[in-house]
Structure 1
Amino acid sequence: MLKSKYILPVLLLLTQAVIFGFRQPAQLHTINTGNAKEIKDFFRYTPDRLPFVCSHRGGPRKGFPENCIATFENTLSHYPTMLEIDPRFTKDGKIVLMHDPTLDRTSNGTGKVADHTLAELKKLRLKDTEGNLTDFTIPTLDEALEWAKGKTILVIDAKDVPVDVRAAKIVEHKAEGNAIIIAYSIEDIQKCYAVSKDIVMEVMTAKPEQIAALDKCGVPWENLVGFVSHEMPQDKNIFSEVHKRGSMCVLGSSRNIDRQFTKGQISAAELEAGYLNLIRQGADVIEADLGIESGAALHSLQQAASSKAKYFGK
């Protein structure tokens, strides 16, 4: 017979079991850069770097909507990955995660995101990649920044949120170690650096003239990660030029091999070979729609001895 002091804890466990169906939380694969110094070291190019993935819109798939924290956790339950996210303003000046300016494609709402208050948006439910309604709700940027600590690095795109506002949010949450910003112009790069010299930015490096402009912009390369393109550049020297400056290179797969695979034009084996080829050509990070599949393709490469290994874990 149970002693009285054990009865309440057991009842609580049984209650949780009924509510959650004995479901255990998934173990997450992590990228853990705890502060500005560590995140800059993580993105510093070294020949022994471990290639990894940035999951576009968080890695959505059947059952898991884009720009959704439950989706982030599902993606991380398979492989370590950064997560690219999309911020938009609400009617009352809050910031939520939503790729489109309208609600119709990804939720059971209608109309513009900017025409709804946060309270109104929180009543909606998100759709998965097949258009099926889920129980998941629209997260705020604040929620995502707090959730990501110790788990991964968020890559915050622009949409309708200015770069200085995104930078201020990172500073507000003390998230310089777990979030970076996509900056599309020299002016935005300088604005972000003026807000905080600790924030790392993903910047455009598809052309030699873009690299030359970055050299002169007054922001050190330790604050910059190069986004080469959504396509393999004709000039392969782009990779080595960015590497010479101590920065990593991101290359997108969402508009090429990811799309070919989802349309049934290439096989799973060809998809894997495609990811590995992007790394062989000089990429350090693949920004992929298929976060889990790209993570699987790069998994064997992450077993090598590396000075970056300390940032990957569970």
Structure 2
Amino acid sequence: MKNSIKHFAGILALSAIVFITAISFKQENKLFTFKLHNANDVKEFFRYTPDAVPFISAHRGGARKGYPENCIATFENTLSHVHSLLEMDPHYTKDSAIVVMHDPTLDRTSNGTGKIADHTLQEIKSYRLKDVDGNLTSYQIPTLDEVLEWAKGKTMLVMDMKELSIEARVKKIQEHKAYASTIIMAYTIADAQKCYKLDKNIVMEVMLNSVEKIKEFDNSGVPWQNVFVFVSQKPVTDPTVFNEIHKRGAMCMEGVAFSYDAAYTKGEIKSVDELNKDYKSVIAAGADIIEANLAIEVGAAIHDLQQAKLASSSKAKFF
């Protein structure tokens, strides 16, 4: 009888451990997602309001130790810590497939060599990605199709140009019905006009770094509700451009990948407290979105600002 009781107790204990482990695993793998269902949701999400919640765009997906650039596992790791857009880069293969990788060559971020355009998709799928320290991982180079399908219901991808035309990128969004999960990067006003003419439902990230450029965009025929604006890769000390964009109902983004992120990685910014202060200064200057390599670190720095806004923001329904 005692042995039976001990055996039963052992089963209960083991079950409890398994149950607790399952709960922990589920919590650790919960993703911070955006609740966006269609193009109108995306337009409303990016419409500037004074109660807008600051958030992040992870440059190349937020690569770090163990997690390569432009990799689905990296995207999931970023979203397991923060609400974030995910910027990514498409390239054509030799057989006209499209893969997601920043460089036009394979060498820096994979164990392949040479140009992506000189390799077939089958060849590229045989290679594995390297993390930020150059360590080989088990992760494959994803196709654009795989990434577009993965993102649905989770986040919004920001599709850079590389050698893909506006027409090709619009076609991919249409093909996957990815209006609620993919944004196109438009480097010029002409590109923004072309995208809007092709499909009025697609939201774009446009590059406007001066009042003159903003006024030029006023006359472009593209509604401000179809865009948010990348302002600068350098710290902005004059809030005029931010203010002018906000007046037009659009959000602003500033990049820190080549400023505060780089300085911290090189040891020029000595402490996390100093780094957090720098990140918060970007929001204080007027930016609504921070594009960063160190997306998780930015998320930690602005967490209190997000929580304060989420308590009463009209945007809270999207987080």
Tell me, in whole angstroms, the C-alpha distance in 1 between the residues paired with 2:103 and 2:24: 33
Q: 2:133 aligned with 1:126, yes or no?
A: no
Listed as ranges, the matches of 1:69-148 within 5 Å are 69-148=72-151
1:232 aligned partner: 235
2:294 aligned with 1:287: no
Letter in 1 for 2:317: K
Asked if residue 309 in structure 1 is aligned to residue 316 in structure 2, the reply is yes
Report the TM-score when normalising by structure 2: 0.89
CA distance in 2, matches of 1:158, 1:281: 28
Q: Deviations over 1:54-77 (max 9, x none)?
A: 000000000000000000000111
User: Partners in 1 of 2:178 and 2:35 — Cα distance?
Assistant: 12
For residues 280-307 of structure 1, give each alpha carbon's deviation from its aligned partner in whole angstroms, at most 9, with x where no partner exists: 0000000001010001111111112211
Deviation digits for residues 79-106 of structure 1 (CA, Å, limit 9, x no counterpart): 1111000111111111111100100000
**Secondary structure in 2 matching 1:54:** strand
**Counterpart selection for 1:57 from 57, 60, 63:** 60
Shift in Å, 1:33: 1.3
The equivalent residue for 1:189 is 192
Contact kept? 1:183, 1:189, Cα under 8 Å = yes
Residue by residue, what CA displacement relative to the aligned partner does 1:172-223 show, whole Å, maximum 9, x if unpaired?
1111111101101122111111221000110111111211111111110000
Q: Secondary structure at the match of 2:302?
A: helix
**In structure 1, what is the Cα distance between the partners aligned to 2:306 and 2:162?**
32
Q: Which moved more, 1:295-304 or 1:137-146?
A: 295-304
Aligned counterparts of 2:140 and 2:170: Cα–Cα separation in 1: 25
2:192 partner amino acid: I
Q: How does 1:21-32 map to 2 (within 5 A)?
A: 24=25, 26-32=29-35
Equivalent residue runs for 1:147-296 within 5 Å: 147-233=150-236, 235-266=238-269, 267-296=271-300
Distance in 1 (alpha carbons) for counterparts of 2:234 and 2:89: 21
Q: What do the CA deviations read for 1:112-143 (whole angstroms, capped 9, x no partner)?
A: 01111111111110000000000000011111
Q: Identity of paired residues, percent?
A: 58
Pick the structure with greater CA Rg. Answer: 2
- State the alpha-carbon separation in 1 of the partners of residues 247 and 302 from structure 2: 24
Q: C-alpha displacement at 1:161, in angstroms? A: 0.8
3-state DSSP of counterpart to 2:50: coil
Tell me if structure 2 keeps the 8 A contact 1:31–1:82: no
- What corresponds to 1:13 in structure 2? none
Gaps of 5+ in 1: 1-16
Tell me the alpha carbon deviations over residues 221-261 of structure 1, each in whole angstroms, 9 at most, x when there is no partner. 00011100101345420000000010000000011100010
**In structure 2, how many angstroms separate the alpha carbons of the residues matched to 1:97 and 1:249?**
26
Q: Distance in 1 between the 2:130 and 2:65 partners?
A: 9
Q: TM-score, normalised by structure 1?
A: 0.91
Provide the rounded CA distance (Å) in 2 between the counterparts of 1:101 and 1:145: 20
Amino acid at match of 1:209: E
Q: What secondary structure is seen at the aligned counterpart in 1 of 2:57?
A: strand
Residue 14 of structure 2: aligned partner = none
Structure 2 counterparts to residues 39-58 of structure 1, below 5 A: 39-58=42-61
Q: Look up the equivalent residue of 1:236 and give its one-letter code.
A: P
Q: For residues 295 and 159 of structure 1, what CA distance do their matches in structure 2 show?
A: 28
Q: CA deviation at 1:270?
A: 0.9
Q: Flag structure 2 segments of 5+ consecutive residues without an equivalent.
A: 1-17
Aligned amino acid, residue 277 of structure 2: A
Query: Counterpart amino acid of 1:73?
Result: E
Contact 2:236 2:282 in 1 (8 A): no
- Asked if the contact 2:237–2:285 (Cα under 8 Å) also holds between the matched residues in 1, the reply is no
What displacement does 1:23 show?
Answer: 9.6
Q: Distance in 2 between matches of 1:245 and 1:238?
A: 11
Paired letter, 2:298: S
Instruction: Give the secondary structure class of the aligned counterpart of 1:181.
Output: strand
